[in-house]
């Protein structure tokens, strides 16, 4: 089954506004990660939050994790045109064996200057 | 430190032909993943190597896809014979240990005509 479904699928905001993206997943996790993909480029890791953490900050990024609801959110504050990209959450499962890190469909963010 | 490199960056082939994609992970990373993104949809897991062993190949679409990882270093993904629906961007990622972030290559865009 697919893990990591992002919501909304697309988001358009003005520069300076905040952008919030949500991610829901289905099974237990060890950690959840957020990635950014600029058009035509590879994915870049943004932030990792472990299952025993509830909130994490990195610069203008704020990630929350609610394991009881199996959901996470990524907040980008004071957005810039350069933040225009697709954002993906990825789940790293809680398992003693090796399992796949799975991604969702992503949220396409457009920041209008 | 060199990142994950993929070759070719773009390949255009006719239906029925063969294509081989290559991925060089970050040196020392035992974990290597292949993913595919088709037409802006989800980033779909294909398979996971730990060193030279296939740990999980549950995402491989069919037996037209063959992945190898020689000596636990670089990996190749061969598609033979290619079909139209194989078009998409193939991403490779490597990871040093689990759990942890994935480091992605820029992707190989495959177009099957």
In this complex, which of A88, A98, A103 lies closest to B48 when CB atoms are compared? A98
DSSP state of B3: -
In this complex, which of A35, A50, A102 lies closest to B45 when CB atoms are compared? A102
What percent of chain B stands above pLDDT 70? Answer: 98
Once rounded to an integer, what is the mean pLDDT over residues B91-111?
90
In this complex, which of B44, B100, B107 lies closest to A42 when CB atoms are compared? B107
Q: Which of A11-15, A25-29, A67-71, B4-8 is predicted least confidently?
A: A25-29
- Burial (CB < 10 A; 0-12, 13-18, 19+), residue A71, is middle
CB contact (8 A) between residue B42 and residue A104: yes
Once rounded to an integer, what is the mean pLDDT over residues B22-27?
96
Quote the minimal CA–CA distance from A18 to chain B in Å: 24
Once rounded to an integer, what is the mean pLDDT over residues A60-65?
97
Q: Average per-residue pLDDT in chain A?
A: 90
Once rounded to an integer, what is the mean pLDDT over residues B49-56?
92
Contact present, A53 and A67 (Cβ < 8 Å): no
Once rounded to an integer, what is the mean pLDDT over residues B13-30?
96
Quote the minimal CA–CA distance from B15 to chain A in Å: 23
Convert the pLDDT of each residue in B9-18 to its tens digit.
999 999 999 9
Quote the tokens at residue B50: 């730990």
What percent of chain A stands above pLDDT 70? Answer: 92
- Going by pLDDT thresholds of 50, 70 and 90, the confidence category of residue A1 is very low
CB contact (8 A) between residue A48 and residue B93: no
Secondary structure percentages of chain A, helix, strand, coil, to 5: 5, 55, 40
């Amino acid at each position: 089954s697919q893990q990591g479904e992002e919501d909304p699928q697309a988001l358009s905001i003005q520069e300076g506004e905040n952008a919030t993206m949500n991610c829901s997943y289905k099974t237990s996790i060890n950690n959840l990660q957020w990635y950014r993909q600029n058009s035509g480029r590879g994915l870049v890791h943004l932030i990792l939050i472990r299952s025993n953490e509830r909130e994490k900050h990195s610069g203008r990024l704020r990630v929350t994790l609610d394991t009881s609801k199996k959901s996470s959110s990524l907040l980008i504050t004071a957005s810039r045109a350069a933040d225009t990209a697709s954002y993906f959450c990825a789940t790293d499962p809680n398992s003693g064996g090796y399992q796949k890190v799975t991604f969702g469909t992503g949220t396409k963010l457009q920041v209008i200057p | 430190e060199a990142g994950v490199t993929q070759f070719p960056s773009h390949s255009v082939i006719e239906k029925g032909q063969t294509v081989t994609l290559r991925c060089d992970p970050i040196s020392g990373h035992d974990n290597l993943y292949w993913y595919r993104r088709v037409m802006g949809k989800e980033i779909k897991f294909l398979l996971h190597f730990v060193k030279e062993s296939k740990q999980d190949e549950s995402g491989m679409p069919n037996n037209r896809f063959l992945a190898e990882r020689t000596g636990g270093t670089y990996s190749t993904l061969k598609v033979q014979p290619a079909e139209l629906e194989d078009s998409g961007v193939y991403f490779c990622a490597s990871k040093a240990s689990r759990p942890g972030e994935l480091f992605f290559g820029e992707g190989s865009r495959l177009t099957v005509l």
